[in-house]
Structure formats: C-alpha cells, structure tokens
Chain A
Amino acid sequence: MALLELRNIERHFGDFAAVNGVSMNIEQGEFFTLLGPSGCGKTTLLRMIAGFDSPQSGEILLDGKDLVSIPPEKRPIHTVFQSYALFPHMTVAQNIAFPLRMKKVSKEEISKRVAEALKSVRLGDRGGRYPGELSGGQRQRVALARALINRPRLLLLDEPLAALDMKLREQMQLELINLQKEVGITFIYVTHDQTEALALSHRIAVMNKGRVEQLDEPSNIYDHPKNRFVADFIGTCNLLPAAVSVTGEEKMVIEIEGLGDVAAKNPGRAHGSGTLALRPEKIRIAQKLEPGIEENHFRGTVHDFLYMGDVTVYIVEVGDGVHIEALLPNSAAGRPRILAAGDPVEISWRYDAGTFLNE
C-alpha cells in the first residue's frame, strides 16, 4: 500500500480550479517532487496534505486511512515553510524542541534529542542563538531539524531553497539528499526549478494549471516527455512541428515543416500531426560531419550563438528558415572561435534522439 494516496483531488477558488482532479500515490521512503510553473497549484495541494485546507472533492489517504477529517496538529506530517517560519522569540534549541514540548515529552529526553538534532544539522554550537542571528542556510537547517525531530511519516517542503543563493542552494541540495537517505522519511518537495527537481527526486509530478501532466522518474521525464508542455518546461528543447508520413515497426518517417522527411522513433500510436521534441545536447554539430547510419543529417548556417561558459549554444538555420538549437561543450581553453555567425555548418542526430508528441 502506498504511504500517501491522493484520489481525484479538486480545489476551486470561486470558479478558478487551483487543483483540478489530481491523483497520485507516494511510496514510503520516497523523495517525491511536485514541479510546475508559478500558480499551478503546488502550494494549494501541499496545504491540503498538511491539513490547512481541504479539498472540495476527492480523498487523501495516509496508510489507507482518511486524512481529511484530521486537523493539521494531529497529522503525523510536518512542513518546512518557504519563509522557514522559525519562532523569532525562541532560541534555535527552543525552536527545535517545540514539537516535542507540544507532545509533552520529558525534559531530559527533549534536551538529549535536541542536542542530537543540532549535531545532525551541524549547528551544535548555535543552540543558544536566536533565528535572527543566523544566516539563511543555517535557518534552513534549523527549520529542517525542527520539522524532523518528531520523526513525521511525511515531510512537506515548499520551495525551501528558493531564498538561498545559487552556491548555497547546490550545497543544500546535496545535504537534503543525504538527510533524506539518512532519516528514511518520505519527502514531498515543491519547486518550480526543474534542475533542482531533476537532481533531487526519485519521482517527479509535473503540474500545470491544477493538473498532473506527467508523473515519472527524472530521466524518463527528461528523455521521454509525454507532451509539449513537459518537453518545453523541463530543460531546453527544440519543438519542431511535424506530421507522420510513414510508420514502421520501430521507426517511422515524419515530415518536419520547412525541413522535410526525417527518421524518428515510433512511440506507438503515432499518427497525424504533432511535434518533434529534440534536446539540443543530443544534436551533433560540426563544420564537417560523417553522418552515422541511423542519423538524420542536414546542412545549414550558423544563425547566432550564445557563449554560456561551459557550453556554447548554436542556433542553426536549416532547410526553409527552420531554427534548431545545438550545443557544443567548451572543452578547449578560451572563447571558442570554431564557428561564427554565417558559417556553413552540419548537424545530425540519431533517429531515436527525439520524441514525437502527438497533438
């Protein structure tokens, strides 16, 4: 049985559907991420799981038992809020002890467990400080320790790293992964940052307009997006309008507008018109290319390029004004001058590098 089961959750504000028929199962021990653009209903869904809001219809089950009728303070679920919501009038140690004091745990036990918790988030010497005296990353760790000290069945994290700068964020991501492994508690993590979601999660639910667009492992979400929205939202992607012309067993031929026929993988049930989603890093680009046997190959010109530091993004014009993005890693030192705007160039990609998405 799944740890948490959402069945057809609906939450409307007036006639606006913030959460519109969401169903999912979250397994024990999982690092599960809700990913989607701003306003897609992530926080609303999380608040219903925590108990601050109730669905208008649908069920929320924890260990198969109904949760909706249980108030937040009685749910074995804790939340790490985006603003951390640390109590400013309590010291770090008092903040972390708060859930234990609410449970009337004995004084000795509290001080023992708080000391352990402080050590586990590397704040052993900061127990007597007030939250206002800590850095953003330290506050983040206090919030985590406070939410975990009662060993909840489920930990909800609403964009907990959004307020940190990039360097600290990457460091905290690693800490989160390790912490989750260590404590074995199920995490539901909310973010609108797709790289964060891909890096952290066992599974991701990509949400849009109150619905789940795709629920899968990170690599499947990235490599096999189910629709245009997911392909576009996760990473960068060439989205080329195309129509199926011939289908075979495993391969098929599709006609890309303005470019002509290319070979593609037959996803099964492909028909009519749709979109070919092609990641820039799966395209080979060079002045002269020896195309492989299963590759599509085109000649074009460099339309523009963007130097990004680690890679350079080339926008290549092929066929009848079709623009395709391709990547080249900058492995040599210095700014690359291999290709400049206007240079003739060749690109190629394996037939199974892209995904054909039906309309």
Chain B
Amino acid sequence: MNSRIAKWLISGPPSLYLLVFFVIPTLIMVLASFRYAGEYGGLAPILLHDANGAHLNLTLESYQEYFSDFIYTWLLLKTVLYALVTTFFCLVMAYPLALLIARSEKKRRDLLILLVILPFWSNFLIRIYAWMIILGPQSAFTVGLNDLLSLLGMGPVRMLFTPFAVVLCLIYVQLPFMVLPLYANLEKHDPALLDAAQDLGANGWQRFWKVTFPLSLPGIYAGVALVFIPVLGIFAVPDILGGTKGIMIGNLIKQEFLEARDWPFGSALSILLTVAAMLMVGMAALLARRKGSDA
C-alpha cells in the first residue's frame, strides 16, 4: 500500500508537469490547426451562433492549403535534409572526440568536457552572429579561402546567406549535444572487454566494430535524437545566416504566427512537422530492430 503511495508521490509531479506543459498545449495546437484564423490574427471562435443555434466552426482549410502547393512539402523535406546532414556530421565529428575524452586520463577528462560545454556559457544568438562575421565577405576566412580558390582557377564563393552557412552553424551549435551522450556512454565501457577482445584475436579495427561500436549504440541513438529533433524546428540560425535560400520550416512557422498572423496554418505546419519527425523516428527504430534480429 505504502509503496503505491510512494510511487504516485514520485511519478505524480513530473506526470502533472508533462500533462500541463506538453500534452495540453499539443492538444490546443491540434485543435487550433482545425480552426479559422481570426480577422485580426489569433483564432476565430470555435462555436458559431446563428438562427439554428450554436455549431462548431472547424475546417480542414489549413491542411488543404498545405497540400495545395508542393512548396510547403519541399520546405519540410529540405529541413529534414538539413537535419540529416547536420546529424551526420555531428556524429562523425563527435564520435572520435568523445572516444578520445573517454579514454584519456581521469584528470584530463574533466577539463576536456569543460571545453566541450564552454560555448554554452555565452549567448546562443551572439554565437550565431559571430558566425555571421566569420563567414562574411570581408572576413579573413572568406578572403583566404577565395584567394586559395583563385590560385586553383576557381571563382570566388559567397558563404554568408547560403544553405552551407546554415548547416555549418547548425553543426557547430548541435555538436555538444552529440558529444555529451556519446561520452556518457563510452566512459562506462569496461576496459577489460577490449583486453578480452584483443586477447581472443581481434585487431584494433575489429575491437572497435565488434565491441566499442555496438556497445555505444544507445549513446548514438540519444545523440542523434538530441541533434536531429531540435534542428527540425530551429529558426534562429537560418534567420540570421540563411538569407532567402537557406530558410527552413521553422522560419515559415514563425512567420505564420508572428507576421502572417495565420495561427491555424502555423499550427498545421507544426503538427505535420511533429508527425513527420515521429514517423522518421518510428521507422528508424523499426529498421534498427529488424537489423538487430538479423544479426
């Protein structure tokens, strides 16, 4: 009896928190996507009163608008592509780094981890503006790169306000979110397992692919989720660095709410984005399970 009360006491507050700040807002959003926009922004009333009494004032208009023009789906796909590219490069760069940190001496580990999280100590927007300067046409980086290209007989490139700038900065912003879960996983590996693998005939390459890598899969899943999902909704980075070509679906959603004042359409876009993200995560999980049962 007591243990049941304790269970409720422990799981109650977080469940309540999730209900109030996640489940209810999501339901409000779903509902909003089926409503009409108000005349001056916001939402039109749900109930309409006329001669026949009150009736529901709901519509599929927002979804019809989405599917009426492929440009929205294209923007969604582009966003997914950016997120995939970002996640891929974060993973490829973070894995060796996390491995290096996890395998270095205990004293040095803390210092290295501190360095990884150091960027969090300065403001997010300021860091993005810093990239604006780094990638700007006058910066030493851009000038140097273009000088090098001209030596090779290739034309000057512009970096600011391009998809390249957006993805580069997304990788920069998201990298720690890949390093930390990977490190947390790799640091727990029992070094005796690698000794055992080597003792039983595995070379360095085999030790990595047969032992370290499969054991780090939970860390990879966590890192991929932490990098991929936030990128889908991000708008600050493309706003500042993307120009017109680099915009993502987050920009459009923000625009619908703040500028076009079409809340129902903005809500519909958010819902579709969430559904797309869930579909992809579900598919990835299914694939992973299929592969797991093969081996």
Contacts and interface: CB of A to CB of B under 8 A. Distances in A.
A77 B215 CA distance: 26
A17 B262 CA distance: 78
Interface string A129-159: 0000000000000000011001000000000
B201 A81 contact: no
Interface stretch (B35-43, B96-104, B206-214, B233-241): B206-214
Interface in B189-238: 190, 192-193, 195-203, 206, 210-211, 214-215
A72 B198 contact: yes
Given A83-B190, A83-B192, A102-B206, A88 B215 contact: yes
A52 B197 CA distance: 12
Contacts of B215: 88-89
A150 B195 contact: no
A72 B199 contact: yes
Contact of B202 (A50, A52, A102): A102
Contact of B201 (A52, A89, A150): A150
B190 A103 contact: no
A107 B214 CA distance: 21
A81 B203 contact: no
A20 interface: no
A205 B197 CA distance: 28
Contact of B195 (A52, A77, A87, A88): A52
B211 to A, nearest CB: 6
A81 B195 contact: yes
Contacts of A72: 195, 198-199
Contacts of B206: 102
A189 interface: no
A103 B206 CA distance: 11
Given A83-B192, A85-B192, A89-B214, A98 B197 contact: yes
Nearest to A102: B201
A86 B206 CA distance: 16
B203 A73 contact: yes
Interface of B is mostly: helix
User: Interface size bucket, A side?
Assistant: 20 to 34
Nearest to B203: A73
A52 B200 CA distance: 12
B199 A150 contact: no
A179 B194 CA distance: 26
A146 B195 contact: no
B200 A147 contact: yes
A11 interface: no
Contact of A150 (B192, B197, B200, B214): B200
Contact of B198 (A73, A86, A88): A73
Interface string B170-201: 00000000000000000000101101111111
Interface string A62-88: 000000000111100111010101111
A85 B200 CA distance: 11
Interface string B241-266: 00000000000000000000000000
A72 B196 CA distance: 10
Nearest to B207: A73
Nearest to B202: A102
A74 B202 CA distance: 9
A78 B197 contact: no
B201 A73 contact: yes
A99 interface: yes
B199 A50 contact: yes
A23 to B, nearest CB: 24
B31 to A, nearest CB: 45
Contacts of B203: 73
A52 B199 CA distance: 9
Contacts of B197: 87, 98
A78 B214 contact: no
Contact of B193 (A51, A74, A85, A150): A85
Given A73-B200, A89-B214, 8 more contacts: A50-B199, A52-B195, A73-B202, A81-B192, A85-B190, A87-B193, A87-B211, A98-B197
5 contacts: A81-B192, A86-B196, A98-B202, A99-B201, A150-B200
Interface of B: 190, 192-193, 195-203, 206, 210-211, 214-215
